[in-house]
Structure 1
Amino acid sequence: MRALLLAAGCGTRLRPLTNVMPKCLVPVKGKPLLEIWLDRLTRAGAGPFLVNTHYLAEQVERFVDASPFREQVTLVHEPELLGTAGTLVANLHFFQGREGMLIHADNYSLADLSAFMEAHRQRPEECVMTMMTFRTDRPSTCGIVELDGRGVVAGFYEKDPDFHGNLANGAVYILSSDFLEMIGRDLGSAKDFSTEVLGGLMGRIYTYETREVFLDVGTPEMYNRANTEA
């Protein structure tokens, strides 16, 4: 299964650490985030991979060139950030008409990716994607999902200060070939995946909840937590 890893962000909330390295390369327990993703995906049988770059792109290029994944990774540079949906739309050809994964590679996750893929295979027929979810103790900083009895998304609340539970969108998705065709046809101008795409798919997104470590390491507090507690 091919995977597009979104890795181009500037990581402004992690400064000063990200003054000298891109967020996707910050180390967690001695390994860059991007290496952790590529290793775990490869072990689950996924690949090849497309990784977008923007901020300090030359560091990502050097990392990939020196890594054991270099034959499996293609880099695509964005002089101006296209947005999470915009990058997907611009690179639909990468999936070759088949289903694939879309991953925000600046999260730290130890989820069972093989189980995630199996959940996607068992999804209800009307669901065009499967979203990884996790439990958060900071719901106001996440996209919170509300599910029906089958584990299908019935409501979505993006960083809402009101409480809607603590089941959060992990921004890791398996996208069906039907969905990829649809987004290219009907949502070609979308920039943000969460706000411009997900809201129109209520009742068509299946979920898989990981009980393993899943942390947004976008702040110094959460980054330290990943390195000391997880």
Structure 2
Amino acid sequence: MKSILLAAGLGTRLRPITDHIPKCLVPINGKPLLGYWFDSLAKAGVGPILINLHHHSDKVIEFVKEYANSCDVRLVYEPELLGTGGTLKENYKFLCSESVLVAHADNFCLVDLKEFYLAHQRRPIGTEITMMTFVTDEPTSCGIVETDVRGRVIGYYEKVKEPPCNVANAAVYIFQRSVIEHISAIPNRFIDLSTDVLPEYLGKIFAWEADDIHIDIGTVKNLQKANAMMASRKEQS
């Protein structure tokens, strides 16, 4: 299965850290986020991997040369940010396969991706996307999902003031080919998955709850939380 790591974001909420490095290279317990992704994808047998670049792209290129010996990694530079969906549209030819794993590379995710893929294979009939979810203590800052008894997403609320629950979109997905084809047909050049794509697939998304650490490294607070969790895990091992 092919995959794409979305890594072009500016990381404005992590400044001044991201004044010098891209968010996808922010270290957790001394190891850059991308390193964790490469290890997880390789362990699950996922590849080749496409990574889109923009902010401090030279540093990502340097890191990939040093680290990704065991992975088939391809890099594509975006001179202009296209949005999470726009990147998929731009790279349609690479991504248009039976299924593709799509992940925001600025998430710290230790979930077993092989289990995630197995869940996708067992998803309810009629669903075309499997979405990883997690329980959050900050629901107003996340995309919140409501599901039916079969785990299908029937409501999606992107950073609303009064979210109906605390089950959040982890921004890690497996898309069927039909979803990539749909995105490629959207006329806009800038496309956002959360606002332009996911709402159109209500009832066709299967939610699978993360079974290990998953944190959006979007703020200094969450970065500190991730480092503390890894330090604690290291002490216990």
Name the TM-score, length of structure 2 as normaliser: 0.93
Segments of structure 1 that go 5 or more residues without pairing to the other structure are none
1:10 partner letter: L
Task: Give the secondary structure class of the aligned counterpart of 2:206.
Answer: strand
Greater shift, 30-39 or 66-75, is seen at: 66-75
* CA deviation map 1:101-135 (0-9, x unaligned): 11101010111211110010011121011000000
Task: Give the secondary structure class of the aligned counterpart of 2:4.
Answer: strand
2:92 partner letter: L
1:89 partner letter: K
Correspondence list, 1:192-203, <5 A: 192-203=192-203
Which residue in 1 is equivalent to 2:77? Answer: 77
Cα pair 1:126 1:204 within 8 Å, conserved: yes
1: CA distance, partners of 2:168 / 2:85 = 19
Which residue in 2 is equivalent to 1:152? Answer: 152
2: CA distance, partners of 1:168 / 1:36 = 21
Greater shift, 103-112 or 175-184, is seen at: 175-184
Correspondence list, 1:177-196, <5 A: 177-185=177-185, 187-189=186-188, 191-196=191-196
2: CA distance, partners of 1:13 / 1:68 = 27
Which residue in 2 is equivalent to 1:47? Answer: 47
1:192 partner letter: D
**If each structure's helix is expressed as a fraction of its own residues, which one has the higher value?**
2
1:125 partner letter: I
2: CA distance, partners of 1:150 / 1:188 = 33
CA offset at residue 98 of structure 1? 2.4
Cα pair 1:64 1:70 within 8 Å, conserved: no
- Counterpart check, 1:131 vs 2:137: no
- Counterpart check, 1:214 vs 2:185: no
Task: Give the secondary structure class of the aligned counterpart of 1:226.
Answer: helix
Task: Give the secondary structure class of the aligned counterpart of 1:229.
Answer: helix
Segments of structure 2 that go 5 or more residues without pairing to the other structure are 231-237
Cα distance change, pair 171–188 in 1 and its aligned pair in 2 (3 A)? farther
Could you say what the CA RMSD is over the residues aligned between the two structures, in angstroms? 1.3
Runs of 4+ in 1 over 4 A off after TM superposition: none
Which residue in 2 is equivalent to 1:168? Answer: 168
2: CA distance, partners of 1:59 / 1:207 = 34
User: Equivalent pairs: percent with the same residue?
Assistant: 47
CA offset at residue 164 of structure 1? 1.0
Task: Give the secondary structure class of the aligned counterpart of 1:131.
Answer: strand
Name the TM-score, length of structure 1 as normaliser: 0.96
- Counterpart check, 1:23 vs 2:23: yes
1: CA distance, partners of 2:10 / 2:99 = 28
Cα pair 2:54 2:81 within 8 Å, conserved: yes
1: CA distance, partners of 2:182 / 2:61 = 32
1: CA distance, partners of 2:126 / 2:116 = 18
Which residue in 1 is equivalent to 2:142? Answer: 142
Greater shift, 52-61 or 207-216, is seen at: 207-216
2: CA distance, partners of 1:73 / 1:60 = 11
CA offset at residue 181 of structure 1? 1.9
1: CA distance, partners of 2:196 / 2:25 = 28
Cα pair 2:47 2:71 within 8 Å, conserved: no
2:85 partner letter: A
Cα pair 2:38 2:68 within 8 Å, conserved: no
Cα distance change, pair 131–71 in 1 and its aligned pair in 2 (3 A)? closer
* CA deviation map 1:181-228 (0-9, x unaligned): 22223x242510000000111100011101311111111111011001
2: CA distance, partners of 1:58 / 1:203 = 41
